[in-house]
Amino acid sequence: MYDYLIVGAGFAGSVLAERLAKDANKKILIIDRRNHIGGNAYDFYNQDGILIHKYGPHIFHTNSSEVFEYLSRFTAWRPYEHRVLASVADKLLPIPINLDTVNWLYGHDFTSEELEKYFEKIKEPVQHIRTSEDVVVSQVGRDLYEKFFRGYTRKQWGMDPSELDKLVTSRIPTRTNRDDRYFTDEFQYMPLHGYTRMFENILDHPNIHIALNTSYAEIKKYVSFKNLIFTGPVDEYFDYCYGKLPYRSLQFVHETLDTPLLQPVAVVNYPNDHDYTRITEYKHLTGQHHNSKTSITYEYPSWEGDPYYPVPKPENAVLYQKYKLMTETLPNVHFVGRLGTYRYYNMDQVVAQALTLYGKLSNRKSLKEAIDTRTEKKHVTSPGIYVPSTISVGRRAGNLKSGLESSVRWCGCKTATQTNCTRTVTRRAPTIWRR
């Protein structure tokens, strides 16, 4: 009998598995219908040896020191500040819109103060900012909205920005200085050895069993468990009894080119041309070197395929509330994550949400308490120290094998170095069932 069955091995499910196993000594079975752990953050080395993100670019950024401290137990980091260019009027211009964007687009030579006055002049007054169109036109006016936001949003969401909640385009700030970073969070890093490696370390605990290629519907009859954590689509759990919640999907087209580098930054957005929204070039994100090749991904939005984006608009919020009321009638079932709570969440927000749920389940009052580990108090984390893992993987591990075999495990010993750590890292390999 498992204490918890966890559906989904993305951030939400894996963080909860780790906390419940390690801190609360619970027995966990975590399943995923995909053939890998990591959820949408899964990355892998393609046939040319380049680390790519199967489900599009994932850039880690957070203002939460607790989230950052917690994840630092499972990975070292590579400092990385994300920069994005938008292809507009035959130029590659910084997005978020900043002083250079406006000067280079229109051939002005504004100072920051002059740009502020310019925005004051061109912005459209909107009394109640409700939609994603309102957000942008009320800051930078119609022309910049049409050049940078309208086409991209129509492609990405299959609807006009005027139909979408303000929270969608509010993700992108407007700046009057020359800061061209996509994010301004305090912690901006990429996991040094990739996300999948980090997930292997998160799930590396004898109390955690993992079953891949396994959906909740097919396994629920055969496994006994006391509690359920569900990180899949909430409407799926209830057999769509109130109707389907819309999720926007993407088709990812991955390519490797015989050129050392394609574009000047990791992501170039195409608001007005092509059917794809953006091209990502991974070497910028990972810092990986390859003399002659580079790998890229095109993102083509669609309604068909895996659910990636909850669609923030009023009628969907109403429908979600109906499902949410149903979730509240099930005391031993917990819904968490981007799909489980139908929220357009970033990775760090999902980690915080999972830690908060763990705090509730274990009577902890804060995130700080939720990341405290009762069972291994003497191993305090100190970033940057690695010891090679002795983890061995059974034959049935299939696709995961190569990743786990080469994995290194985070050792939290305060005094350890790679050569003198005396802490044993021998672990029973997680049970991985595959068909």
**Shortest reach from residue 371's CB to ligand FAD, in Å:** 17
187 part of the interface to ligand UDP, by CB under 6 A: no
With CB under 6 A as the contact rule, the residue among 40, 72, 87, 156 that binds ligand UDP is 156
Q: Which does 169 bind (CB under 5 to 8 A by kind): ligand FAD, ligand UDP, none?
A: ligand UDP
Asked if 95 touches ligand UDP (CB under 6 A), the answer is yes
The answer to whether 427 and 390 have CB atoms below 8 angstroms apart is yes
User: Beta-carbon neighbour count of residue 242 at 10 Å?
Assistant: 16
Burial of 426 (0-12, 13-18, 19+ CB in 10 A): exposed
Hey, which residues between 120 and 149 contact ligand UDP (CB under 6 A)?
148-149
Neighbours of 412 (CB within 10 A): 18
Contacts with ligand UDP in 73-92 (CB under 6 A)?
86
Span near ligand UDP by CB under 6 A; candidates 8-16, 118-126, 165-173, 383-391 = 165-173
Instruction: Kindly tell me which of 12 and 105 has the beta carbon lying closer to ligand FAD.
Output: 12
Q: Is 86 helix (H, G, I), strand (E, B) or coil?
A: strand
Q: How far apart are CA 221 and CA 215, in angstroms?
A: 11
- Show the binding pattern over residues 271-310: x = contacts ligand UDP (CB under 6 A), - = does not: x---------------------------------------
Which single residue is written with the structure tokens 């993407």?
250
Beta-carbon contacts of residue 381 (< 8 Å; ≥ 6 apart): 69, 72, 73, 412
Give me the phi and psi of 255, to 5 degrees please: -140, 150
The residues binding ligand FAD (CB under 6 A) are 7-13, 31-34, 39-41, 55-59, 215-216, 231-232, 236, 250, 308, 337-339, 345-348, 350
Among 62, 72, 75, 169, contact with ligand UDP (rule: CB under 6 A):
169
Nearest to 225 by CA among 211, 236, 235: 211
Phi, psi of 265 (to 5 degrees): -135, 170
Q: What is the nearest approach in angstroms of ligand UDP to the Cβ of residue 82?
A: 10
Q: Which helix (H) or strand (E) holds 137?
A: helix 132-144
Say how many C-beta atoms besides its own lie within 10 A of residue 186's C-beta: 11
Q: Which of ligand FAD, ligand UDP, none sits in contact with 269, Cβ below 5 to 8 A by type?
A: ligand UDP
Q: For residues 153 and 171, give the distance between their C-alpha atoms in angstroms, rounded to a whole number.
A: 12
Which of the choices ligand UDP, ligand FAD, none does residue 172 contact, using the CB cut-off of 5 to 8 A by kind? ligand UDP
Size of the site for ligand UDP (CB under 6 A): 13
Smallest distance from ligand UDP to CB 343, Å: 12
Q: Give the helix/strand (H/E) hosting 196.
A: helix 195-202
User: Which partner from the list ligand UDP, ligand FAD, none does 94 bind, CB cut-off 5 to 8 Å by kind?
Assistant: none
Interacting residue with ligand UDP among 126, 129, 172, 219 (CB under 6 A): 172
Q: How far apart are CA 257 and CA 238, in angstroms?
A: 44
User: Which residues make up the interface to ligand UDP (CB under 6 A)?
Assistant: 86, 95, 148-149, 152-153, 156, 168-169, 171-172, 269, 271
